[in-house]
Structure 1
Amino acid sequence: MSDEKWDMYELLNHFELVEWEFTNMANLVLETLDLDECELETVPPAITEIEYYAFRDVQAVSLNNNPNITNADILGKLLDMQAINMWGCRLTTIPKSWVNLHKLQVLGLGNTPTLKGYGPLRNLTNIQWLDLGGCGLKSIPQEVTHLTKLTVLALGKNEGIEIDDSLCCFWNLQRLALNECALKAVPTPIYSLIRLTHLHLDNNMLFSIGQQIVQLKALEELSVTGNDNMSFPKLLSQCENVKRIIVDENLNLSHISHSLRKKMQVACRELQPAV
């Protein structure tokens, strides 16, 4: 695609106010340049001119599903950037120029199995929302462990990922997604995340939730659909903060206490209480 099509004035038509989802960061409503699914082959160079000539800052950019895009390093020039979403863009490394993006809070790089270089992340310590789902990870990259302000971490669809004690450094984490990771047991380090409110373990190979789940005093929602013959500890019914346990419709409830059943809801368009 030629640069001429994406001159500065054309880009202005793609701005909108977006409240980023899957996060409870207060008041994160950003002026966003939305170029999703535009068959881009490069990040438009004119993006750097907008804030100088149009008197508006580029606070966020969404470039999802542009698999052939290159020149992502140009985003490192936009020092007011708070959010970048590049889902399915086939990046191989996070550009070195991004180390300048000290205001960055949201980074979505899901569905990028080609991504191998994470170096700049160690400097982006203000990131609170990170999506590395479907990136072919076998462990949490060491650079990610520097992001101790994370409140949301999506690691789903990384089959065979090993969750070790490095997870414990995310002491501010509130939402964790480990769906479709071929887990056979709930990783023990999860139980140290005392601020965790939402835990998604759908479509794994789990048979039970351990008694240690009661250590998650802040937990409000547990989602375990797609795990056959799940069993739950009785003490889970005494966890007052747990409002919802999302389960499959065919879950055998015969060995589950009535008090725990009341917390369960079947996964469907309109979540209905299990009976």
Structure 2
Amino acid sequence: MNARCAFAFLWLAYFCHCTLSCPALCKCYSRRAEVVCNEVPLTEYPSEGLPKNTTMLTIQFTNITSISEQHLSATPLLKELHLYGNHLQHLSSNLLRGVPHLNTLDLTGNKLTDLPADVFSHAPLHSLVLKNNLIEKAESEWLPDNSNLTWLDMSGNHLRKIPKDLLQKLPHIENLDLSNNRLEAISADSLDMLTKLERLNLQNNKLEILDASLLQNTRNLTYLFLSQNKLNKIPENLFQELTQLKILSLDENQLSHIPPGLLDQLNSLDEEGLDLSSNPWLCDGKVEYLWRWIQKNKKKLFLPEIIRCVGPQSLSGRSVMSLTESELNLQS
């Protein structure tokens, strides 16, 4: 056998090993270098048999409780790792050191609590999902300075605050989801570095007030979700820079009034893009601005007829849009 034939034989053997090997209980798709282990009785990470050329790996709804740097080093070309709905409780600080091409990491629905420093610092992640875990405290040390993240989802955890130092490491972030936590406040300048932010989800937290300057540098914001909080006041200039905003949800808060001019800059709102329902609107003289805005912008409101007064008693239950000038003691 000459040298050229020998080389071809060795290359073919390596290729066949990479494409034909597959862990037990998993499915391998050689053409797209993908491995899927879905709803199978795995108790350990399936390192053995993983093709080295794997670029996408999904392990979901299994009984795996741990994952290590050694496990991931079996697939050095990995770009996407989806670990949805397992029983992971801990991650090592060097977890991603063996996957230098990893750009997507989804850890949704595990049992993660405390995460070590530098845990996400060894791979060029663009998307990180930590949704529906048991995390009580977010740490800036998780990420490198000037992180590449464009998508961060920490919804459905037990966070009471989000560190300003962590957010300032996200200059490229476009989607930030902190919904379904226990956030009580967000510091005034915590979003200043997020100039590329397009989507911010803060719904279902415990926010009572937002600083007037919070959104002054997020001029690219197009979706803002603030529903199901405890907001009782909105600063007059909060939305002043959001000229690109298409969707704004403020439903299920404690708003009785909004300040004059609050909505004037929101010319880009989609049809039915603003939700103000399920707030205790007080239909006294201070409701004039909201009433006049609704008359001119009905199409931009989601179900405007259910934006209702809770007081005074004579107007209780009435929709704000149905009120007349005489009922509000207004002059034409």
The TM-score bracket by the shorter chain reads 0.7 to 0.9
Instruction: Describe the superposition over 1:220-258 as per-residue Cα deviations: whole angstroms up to 9, x where unpaired.
Output: 110122114554456425632111113437886983522
Change (3 A) 1:155 1:85: same
Within the candidate set 173, 193, 211, 1:150 is matched to 173
Tell me the equivalent position of 2:66: 42
Give the residue type in structure 2 aligned to 1:149: H
Change (3 A) 1:106 1:266: farther
- The answer to whether 1:265 aligns with 2:302 is yes
Change (3 A) 1:97 1:201: closer
Q: CA–CA distance in 2 between the matches of 1:148 and 1:229?
A: 32
Aligned residue pairs, count = 243
- Determine which structure has more spread, i.e. the larger CA radius of gyration: 2
State the 1:139 CA deviation. Answer: 3.3
Uncovered stretches (5+) of structure 2, i.e. residues with no partner: 1-21, 29-33, 37-54, 284-289, 305-320, 323-332
Give the residue type in structure 1 aligned to 2:106: N
Tell me the equivalent position of 1:189: 213
Change (3 A) 1:251 1:120: closer
Change (3 A) 1:60 1:231: farther
Tell me the equivalent position of 1:176: 200
Equivalent residues in 2 for 1:2-151 (5 A)? 8=23, 10-13=25-28, 15=35, 32-43=56-67, 47-50=72-75, 57-71=77-91, 73-89=94-110, 90-94=112-116, 96=118, 98-101=120-123, 103-110=124-131, 111-115=133-137, 117-123=139-145, 125-133=147-155, 134-151=157-174
> What TM-score comes out, normalization by structure 2 length?
0.62
Instruction: Describe the superposition over 1:148-192 as per-residue Cα deviations: whole angstroms up to 9, x where unpaired.
Output: 111111122133133331221111111111112211223323331
Uncovered stretches (5+) of structure 1, i.e. residues with no partner: 1-6, 17-30, 52-56, 268-273
Tell me the equivalent position of 1:239: 266
Q: CA–CA distance in 1 between the matches of 2:164 and 2:134?
A: 14
Change (3 A) 1:250 1:207: closer
Q: CA–CA distance in 2 between the matches of 1:183 and 1:266?
A: 24
Give the residue type in structure 2 aligned to 1:127: L
Change (3 A) 1:114 1:227: closer
Change (3 A) 1:70 1:209: closer
Q: Which has the higher contact order (CA 8 A, sep 6+)?
A: 1
Asked whether the equivalents of residues 164 and 187 of structure 2 are also in contact (C-alpha less than 8 Å), the reply is no
Q: CA–CA distance in 2 between the matches of 1:34 and 1:230?
A: 47
Change (3 A) 1:46 1:113: closer
Q: CA–CA distance in 1 between the matches of 2:278 and 2:120?
A: 45
- The answer to whether 1:160 aligns with 2:184 is yes
Q: CA–CA distance in 2 between the matches of 1:97 and 1:11?
A: 27
Higher helix fraction: Structure 1 or Structure 2?
Answer: 1
SS at structure 2 position matched to 1:211: coil
Change (3 A) 1:250 1:124: closer
Q: CA–CA distance in 2 between the matches of 1:121 and 1:60?
A: 18
Q: CA–CA distance in 2 between the matches of 1:191 and 1:246?
A: 19
> What TM-score comes out, normalization by structure 1 length?
0.73
**Equivalent pairs: percent with the same residue?**
18
Tell me the equivalent position of 1:207: 232
SS at structure 2 position matched to 1:107: strand
Instruction: Describe the superposition over 1:30-86 as per-residue Cα deviations: whole angstroms up to 9, x where unpaired.
Output: x642223322112385543345xxxxx422112233244445543331111111111
Tell me the equivalent position of 1:225: 251
SS at structure 2 position matched to 1:257: helix
Asked whether the equivalents of residues 234 and 257 of structure 1 are also in contact (C-alpha less than 8 Å), the reply is no
State the 1:127 CA deviation. Answer: 0.6
Asked whether the equivalents of residues 94 and 118 of structure 1 are also in contact (C-alpha less than 8 Å), the reply is no
